[in-house]
């Protein structure tokens, strides 16, 4: 009964996101729907639309989000993002959905979504979450979440999720964009292509140059 209640709560949270955050970042649709055409030769702000008469139910469908994903990696987490690339019917609708699986003590590291607010609901595990406000305050907002708890991460702010339980964890997130974007702070800074000059990172992070070069090698191979 407890699990059923939590799953119901997850559904309510996602529906709430759909009704309240549709206008958070993406422009409003000018028709009922605009099923995306994946043409790598065309670049626009969003996706071109398929003829609506050719749309099918499968354009709005993704199966199997109930299936746990592997967390056998150094972070102990796995994010399954259902954005417009996975569900073409999301094009112009301004929402997407993510499932995050956590191993015991698994981490979804500090990152940002440049185009989306995120609302997260915990289904399993005990998840320590937080976000940092922008300069000059740089305030850290944190909370320990249990199954059924919900937390919001404002658009563009650095945030994280960490399963502090010795059991697996599962969360679901609604995001206010069909393509929320992802910047993983450490990967982007230390694993960029080509690499940022070690002199820049040494001065910016007040680190020894040997440490910076070590981190660049580590993150470049895992990015």
Known binding-site residues for Mn(2+) equal: 111, 113, 118, 159
Binding-site annotation: residue ranges for oxalate: 108, 113, 118
Query: What is the three-class DSSP state of 146?
Result: coil
DSSP line for 81-97: EE-TTT-GGGTTT--EE
b/e per residue, 92-122, with b = 16+ CB within 10 A? bbbbbbbbbbbbeebbbebbbbebbbbbbbb
Alpha-carbon gap, residue 22 to 151, rounded angstroms: 18
Among residues 100, 34, 22, 45, the alpha carbon closest in space to that of 68 is found at 100
Nearest to 100 by CA among 38, 35, 151, 134: 151
């Amino acid at each position: 009964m407890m699990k059923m209640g939590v799953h119901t709560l997850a559904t309510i949270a996602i529906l709430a996101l759909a009704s309240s955050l549709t206008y958070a970042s993406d422009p409003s649709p000018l028709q009922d729907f605009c099923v995306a055409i994946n043409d790598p030769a065309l670049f626009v702000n969003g996706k071109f639309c398929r003829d609506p008469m050719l749309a099918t139910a499968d354009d709005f469908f993704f199966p199997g989000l109930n299936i746990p994903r592997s967390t056998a990696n150094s972070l102990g987490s796995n994010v399954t993002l259902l954005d417009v690339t996975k569900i073409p019917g999301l094009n112009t609708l301004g929402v997407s959905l993510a499932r995050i699986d956590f191993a015991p003590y698994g981490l979804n590291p500090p990152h940002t979504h440049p185009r989306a607010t995120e609302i997260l609901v915990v289904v399993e595990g005990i998840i320590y979450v937080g976000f940092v406000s922008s300069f000059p305050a740089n305030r850290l907002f944190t909370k320990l979440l249990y199954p059924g708890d919900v937390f919001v991460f404002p658009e563009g702010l650095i945030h994280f999720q960490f399963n502090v339980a010795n059991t697996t964890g599962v969360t679901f997130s609604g995001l206010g964009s069909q393509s929320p974007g992802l910047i993983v702070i450490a990967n982007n800074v230390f694993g960029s292509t080509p690499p940022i000059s070690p002199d820049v990172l040494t001065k910016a992070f007040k680190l020894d140059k040997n440490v910076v070069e070590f981190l660049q090698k580590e993150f470049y191979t895992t990015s």
